[in-house]
Structure 1
């Protein structure tokens, strides 16, 4: 996206240097479970400003007094958790790199989530990339005037707050087995908290505990990495154990699980912006568009792209029995503009927003990027492809 940087990077790239970079990233007990992209995305200032402008317009909607009232239906009743915070601590916005009508590049929002993402791993990635390849002067992966130290200070302040780190946990379903476990190891290191599996929780009254060095230790804050939809795919014994999370507990959630649903595909029909594709609840669509090939059909309550219909037909729409739980969204056409040694790659950039307690608004802080040469973004669509996978963007400052 910045031609002179792209040309210089590709010319200096060697597989030997890249393998040394990957080896340095794999410093924990298990290797990274996803493919690491060979390159960052170099983002010019004009492009990043468009992304931030779209994010800020969404934040305007999220901070309206009636936003929670408008999104009550977004939370499935069987997944509603007591003790919801006044606002989420974390939001992630995903943008595709696309071409506009005049042939220039522009970001288009794909989706958003009121949920954490790879906040720890991206610090490690930036560190190791800089050591092996070097970051061009005037570029940074951090946003909002932050650097490595101030970013980690803010991350720690939000997650740990004033508690002893031993009373704060990262909660997941079998965290060591997750594809994103590298992020959990990084978070343990940077924040001093422990990853804990749902199956390891101990309930005493309305309090939760976990075993640390064989001793029951009180949990006062949960840095939540559990996607509650995934609970339905677990064995009955695990689902039974997880029922404790739906009780009124004496602890704080970071971010509270209800925000995963409030800030999601459900919110998109509320927003109009040039960098946000037209989105409507399917039950509000009275006339099926004649150019249906330019739309995508998405279920509200799914994750990781499951259930998405890319090539929509009128039959697909008529077959849906609960149209209030689906959205029809103008299709985003990714532009294959990242030059690689063979074919160009598409890219998606995720902007991280952090929201401190007491702050009127969240703020942009960091990012990740994914490169693809398949029909969709994601590892399973890029088998046997190089210069694809997970990475990050470097923004012109």
Structure 2
């Protein structure tokens, strides 16, 4: 119970369904902010108090479990390390993977509970190969992307009571009918441990900034930067390049090389990605197909991005294609070619992002992007 309206209604529905329910609020920081600022952040003392009031209204036991040490190591430290290595992580997926459906679920199972219920908008379906994770009925609120890291074993102990609700407004209306005082509480957004939303400023306090070269794709130096970690893929402004490109067109950040401390820039059309590949992949269950053979699917690279048609396969890593961001321990990777006849190329793809694979509404699994090849390179590589 985060202290928000979604988990409040999820708990109420679980009680109404006849389950033996216990409310748990996760303390993820040893020094949480006392009060929220609008919709910024979550997991504050105020949120814990809101969750307790809902539990009292529902007549269920309520506990605060301190997972702050685990959260700091598995989510916050991982977030910093990924940026230090030139990657762009998604801490919400990591939190679901390491905290809510690992540490929390493990403790719940050890205490004799059958499942962890949350306010996520996603649907569970019992399929021929076992339990399957699917999109929520309301695609505008669908949160299956951030659940793409879950395994079949974890899904067997999950419960998402809100998955069939077609809109958030219906959830708020239901909360009001149930007398839940936080029915109109704003949704939280931004990264919970950076509540002011200034990710760059927060990282500047954690990581040293080392000046280096801005280069084009040929390696020619075209400018200087004051710290490569301050740049993002697709950035145009603030590059401080001393002279224009030969064609006179603007240049954009294409990649960041942490080992050589270089920022690579080039024309906008080089941001159009035709192939992505990466490791650290996981499946939500039996896919019912041979992953080594090309299969049709859809790929989503951000929580609120549109999925795009693709052809994916599991392949051994091509050593010649390794990059500075590539995970050295990986031996296999998922490779996905974007179907450019039916979708626009992916834009602004950065190593470290999570790509979630779908077949229809079903979540097949996910992988961490290590390589993103421009359209021309991607088509050439797949020929």
TM-score by length of structure 1 reads 0.25
Of the two structures, which has the highest relative contact order with CA contacts closer than 8 Å and spacing of 6 or more?
1
